[in-house]
Amino acid sequence: MLNKIPITLASKSPRRQELLKLMGLNFKVELRDVDESYPESLSPAEIAVYISEQKAKAFEAGNEVVITADTIVALNGEILGKPRDKNHAQEMLAKLSGNKHEVYTGVTLVKGNKIFSFYDRTEVYCKAVTGEEIDFYIDNYKPFDKAGSYGVQDWWGLVVVERIEGSYTNVMGLPTEKLYRELEKFVSF
């Protein structure tokens, strides 16, 4: 059972921590400062995996499994990271309004000298919203720590997201169903 293996989650994301708890995994949280810049030539999926691997390289894994992850939002090839401020969040949310975008989460597993990375992709369709609704969302939900300036688990996901194709938890920041399968394989060899 996976709940018996020691796991370190290298993420300050409360959503990732909650998802691991809901998966029944026992873990501790450790953080390292990591440069999250990436080569401009990478695709959105490659960016998510690249940053996840950069985070993993900051750890020396022993017997525990270290899990790192990075989530990015891409709209027509443009990467929408975490907003710098309210104006930046308004710009991003206005771009997402009435459009389809993709969410990519790269995940890296490390144990000893073994390392394995994967990613998941989800398409998210948003209805059109007004500037007033965008301001309401930003003022009340403060999405400054979220890629694309929104959380699928809060007002934006409940009111603006019309549908998703793919993993819901991937949009939250960790594709749990894929992570569970990959963890089972990773710890068994």
Residues with catalytic roles: 70
For residues 161 and 53, give the distance between their C-alpha atoms in angstroms, rounded to a whole number: 30
Nearest to 173 by CA among 120, 101, 99, 110: 120
Lookup: tokens for 136: 């309401």
What lies within 8 Å, CB to CB, of 72 at 6+ separation is 44, 47, 48, 51, 79, 80, 81, 103, 104, 105, 147
For residues 189 and 173, give the distance between their C-alpha atoms in angstroms, rounded to a whole number: 26
Nearest to 178 by CA among 128, 112, 104: 104
Lookup: tokens for 31: 């953080």
For residues 20 and 17, give the distance between their C-alpha atoms in angstroms, rounded to a whole number: 5
